[in-house]
Structure 1
Amino acid sequence: MNKEDYPQISHPRVVIGIGCDRGAERATVQRAITAALQDAGLDEQAVAAMATIDIKKDEHAITDLAHQQDWPLFFYSAAELAAVSVPHPSATVARHTGTPAVAEAAALLHAGTDSRALLIEKRRRRGSDGKNVTVSVALINPEGQLGSGGDISDSAKGQAPAGKIQVIGIGPGDSRLMSQRARQAIAAADVVIGYKTYLDLIAELLDTKRVISKGMTEELERAEQAYTHALLGNTVALISSGDAGVYGMAAPIYELLIERGQYPAKHNNSGDPDTQGQINGGQEAKNGRDSDRLAIDIEVIPGITALSASASLVGAPLSHDFCTISLSDLLTPWPVIARRLEAAARGDFVVVLYNPASKKRTQHIKIAQQILLRRRSAQTPVAVIRSAYRDGQSIEHSCLGELHRCELDMLSTVLIGNSSTYQQGGYMITPRGYRAKYGSQAEHSSEQAQGSEPSPHTRNQRGKSLPLGLEGWHAEVRAWLRSQEEPRIEAAMEHFDAPRAEILTAVAEQLSSSDDPFTSRLLDTADLSWALDRFSHLPLLQATTATPHGVVLNLNVAPADITLKESKIELAAEQIHLSIDTASINTLFLLANPQSASAALTPETSGLELCDIDGNLLLSLFHCRMRRL
């Protein structure tokens, strides 16, 4: 569809607020204005006037351009501009001009409106002449009056514009997978805005629409244009592939609207505004704003995500807990991405990688692979799906150890299994856990025929938590410790893959019985001084500290060599000084072995355990006569 074939929509009327360095060239000013208009989805026909500060009356770049374009040019004093509330006041501008804003203030003052009508806030651009130009674009107030100044007119307050923004997820690209609601929304739109590649996927729905196509990385420009056209009363369709709320345009448009004071209405399940649940009611009360806000109507229409579409092509890889991580560092620092990869690997999540590689980003996937291999087998199943449900779709099955050899780009989605995922017959399957809990029908039949005792997993009851569920797993810890010839806390940590504080909690005295090898008591961290003083009469203590990765340090210290001062625990031994920040202490336990002595938690029969926020050991103290727990 050619641009000249688009249905015509009446132009908005806007005011250009302008400021520039002294001696800027006219071409520099012209390019700055053109760029700002383009970002707002407008052209020069929309300009009703230009406005600036009166000290620019002799600035030829501004005056000559206004004359050339036949744009009325208006000047305001510094005092008049300083009285206008703007989003971006500047102390530097105030020192040079006497007002904290020129472009924004001039545009708003002459348009007779407030900052909600700024289509383009202060936009600074440096020209080839080395001079800076600042441009703002303001929509003229609803009554169409120029130069009325002040706030938005009383007659306009409380009037919701007829415009609406529909943020639409079109799914993976196959028109058969687009929702009926998405089709209805596109059909009802006056203006459709989106990334060119996504618009090409729905070209057959755009024959009668005004289409604004933008490039990659121009998400904020798309949001600005959607906002502009909605202010004019148009229904706007803002297009995302997949689901607009998953790495899509939903967040940018909400951020923009709230930044501009346009608190959108919530919607009910019919897609209509929910008058009982307005965001602006609570938010305005919180921010001290009055309730007479113009609220652009907005609706987010969900779509099938790339991860759902990709998973459907390779079997059932997402049948248990999973997470999605984008490897793009354009908006997220790499250290943050790396921490998320490590956490996902540690938590045994199925991992879905978005944006795994591009022409410039070729090393990210290799580093991600290395992070995951710290916790995952090299044989962990992997599937790479490129262009799911689009032309050129391809599927590659591999394993984590070979992931770096797979063909990857920005159209690829990578599915990496967890410890239970397997591949068979060309399918990738992550068990949900039904068979592990209940067993197969064949097992039940065999046990009944033989009259044998049911196996452990066939004893599980439907609808009941597993033995290792929230209510039962502490009992499982105690039972396992009782079954060991030489029970040790460290061995239980390894067996249950749980931090020390969790194991200590499992053996709490109110849960333990006389035949349990350990019992503990949780103390308040405020009791630290009292807990240390309990050992003061003992001749010698064994102090142990450890890292989460297995480095252990054992010291023999006299209680007098342990001091608590200010925010530190200090331990002094021969040629060794150990310091622990008390702020790092999250939990504090007394721990005893009641089988080896009295069941009472006395200093002679119990030790002190300090753990950090992750449940890892910071310090343990025991009477040297006691067997190490």
Structure 2
Amino acid sequence: MANLWTEFQPIAWIATTPTSQMRLLPLAQSSQGVLWCSPHLKSHPHCQIYAPSLREHLSIIWPHQRAIVFGLTLGAVVRLIAPLLTDKQQDPTILCIPESGEYVITVCGGHQQQGDKLSQSIAHLLGIKSVITDAATAHDIPGVDTWGMPWNWQKGAGNWTGIASAIIRDEPIHIMQESGTTLWRQMIMQKSNLIFLQEPDLQTKTIWITHREITSPDQQIVTWHPRVLWVGIGCERGTSQEQIDSAVKTVFATHQLSLKSIAGIASLDIKKDEIGLVNLTQAQGWPFLTFSAATLSQISVPNPSKIVAQTVGTASVAEASALQASQGTLLVPKTILSPVTIAVALAPQEWLNRPGQLYLVGIGPGDLAQLTPAARQAITQADVVIGYHLYLQLLDTIKRPAQIWEPYPIGQETQRAQRAIELAHWGLNVAVVSSGDCGIYGMAGVVIELLQKQDSVKTKLDIKIFPGISALQSAASRVGVPLMQDFCAISLSDLHVPWDVIAQRVTHAAQGDFVTIFYNPCSQQRTWQLPTAQAIFLQYRDPQTPVAIVRQAYRQDEQIWRDTLANFTQNSLDMFCTIIIGNSRTYWSEYGLITPRNYPPKSPHFDPQSQNLNSE
């Protein structure tokens, strides 16, 4: 699970008591962080001792941490960190878990440093409550100063505190969006006081999402700047960093564009070692893309140059490279500020400047108590969660306000997988959820197969698979211990496997005396497959063979039927049912369905009292 801690590293953990030491140790190891312990505690190979005092030690590590988690009371933490607090943009996230271990509290950095997100992840792992006290969370929306974080938007000028307070007071706030993704809007859909404008109004409280510089004399605005501007640059050999930087700033000021919206710099490939361009992009942390003359010569531009074409093989460098990098529209045609030529293009999608990740998550039967801690953490850490709409409803209580959830109807598995891959390639962390285990008739296979086909044309993604309690395990646990001998699972859906292949597998399972689990037994359209499979089994099994049917295991409307092979199809069955057919030794008891561990050469349905249940 170490990758789930990445955005909070480096992270330090502080323990002053044996209880907090034991509680924080596995978290420190999982996060690859350092657990600093009091010199009064027993030494441990995975702990480091702070000295001479905790207060002095904090002043040393403070500038180097993105997060610090204390195993202390809130009051003690406040007194320790108070002298060190300077700026919420720079200070690390501070959390505390009191000695009682009942909750984890966000102390500082809940918004800007994503402390609330870290608090919720730790709470899920420990099975305790996350205490988040900010007003935005109480209203089930993310703070306005965090809206752009998943999309790598840059905060601009404005009265952030005033606008945030006005939102909470339900005052009308206008939103003017000129660029960047609209996915974020899902986060605020329930707030009726947030009103989208088509035309700007500088006289009202407004949240601007724009690539332009916006000013308001009475400070009634805040601005987010999506990184959507690609700057195409041509220059003479040996042009300095300062000259290029000055030219970019001049063009942006002239056209009232925000430097914070720069996604990156683009140019001709012969400029990839141009020292001024290299130094500028490295100093600003901008990507530097270069393209061949053959590629740029295919781009239609408004201001081609025959002289440039004769010199470098393409009629445009600045305009063509900006357009090629952005895959968008030209915003500023080439501007010559000798020895530099600048053009700016607007991209339809912002540059996230980070690798995306795919989490393929099995959520178990649907009851949150059956969701594994690792799966829960993966879901809560994701920027976007994709799944069948029913499964997302089952998970609704662990949704963070800042997350995007995309529900899909049944039958659109490929669409779900393609959407997840696209978002992850863009740079988002995406969780794709499946009921049961994601690798057993789940979405993991759909996603991986699709990725395999695309690997030749796109970069590989970082993929993590989080197993869940499978449907066969859930169903078995509700009816006894039917899986104590060899068993097999067969899906009766012929949407992806021809029926003759399924029938062959059913036949072999029946002949082999396997305990057999049927997935996807029937639907409104598929009604004949289950009776056909029953008929095959009746050729090889006793009609009185025990059969258990579990519908919606561990969910509110769970149903369980005890039946026999001869009669089980007379029940009201559907896609939410899992059917377990016992083997020749399986029997019903007061404790449920039992398949004995021993398989002696006895006649079918032998007297269970004669079996030695304690033998190995």
Q: What TM-score bracket applies, with the shorter chain setting the length?
A: 0.3 to 0.5
Structure with greater Cα Rg: 1
